[in-house]
Amino acid sequence: MLHLASQSPRRRELLARLGVGFGIIDVEVPEQRAPGEPPGDYVRRVAREKAGAGLLEVVGVPDAVVLGADTEVVLDDEVFGKPRDAADAAAMLRRLSGRTHMVISAVSLVSAAREAQAVCISRVSFAPLDERDIAAYVASGEPMGRAGAYAIQGGAERFVQRLEGSFSGVMGLPLHETANLLHGFGIATGFAGAAGTTGGVRD
């Protein structure tokens, strides 16, 4: 059975779009970039660690497969994590204003017998943002808990002048790459109406 090792409701929503049944495992993995660690290596490592932590939670479950993912915003080799507070969110948005940044999204799939990983890199160009735009968006609360202080599927979509890559990857789970990984593990995907989440949230 497939399990999603994530506390993100957005990843749950995206995975459900692939029409696969899955359980949920909430994992706590430190998201701390090591000194000198390249952004891409950092994102891949965290995704792998989330999947590995999830697999430990389902030891003994026959045919268990665990999916872990991580998505980060990168500008000038700096990884923009989740903002600490409203001031931090505003500062991130000022940095992204009028610039093109990368969004790196890694997906790891592990079982007791094997593991595989895929990485999706997208480029997002923001229009210049004035202070009123930034203040109003931060006041909405949407930037909190989101890498780079924005949600492309929400109010920040109007900031995006150009997107090269995967919309779902920027949201947090690149569906094309994820579907290919699942197929490699013999897990068929379909349409969202065909299946969905099963089971409850695990501690």
Catalytic machinery residues: 70
User: Degrees (nearest 5) of the Cα angle 47, 25, 3?
Assistant: 75
3-state secondary structure 171-202: HCCCHHHHHHHHHHCCCCCCCHHHCCEEEEEE
Backbone angles phi, psi at 199, to 5 degrees: 75, -175
- Strand runs labelled E in 127-171: 160-164
C-alpha 190/C-alpha 168 separation (Å) is 17
The amino acid at 46: V
What Å distances lie between residue 8 and 4, 35, 63, 113, 146, CA to CA?
A: 10, 26, 24, 26, 10
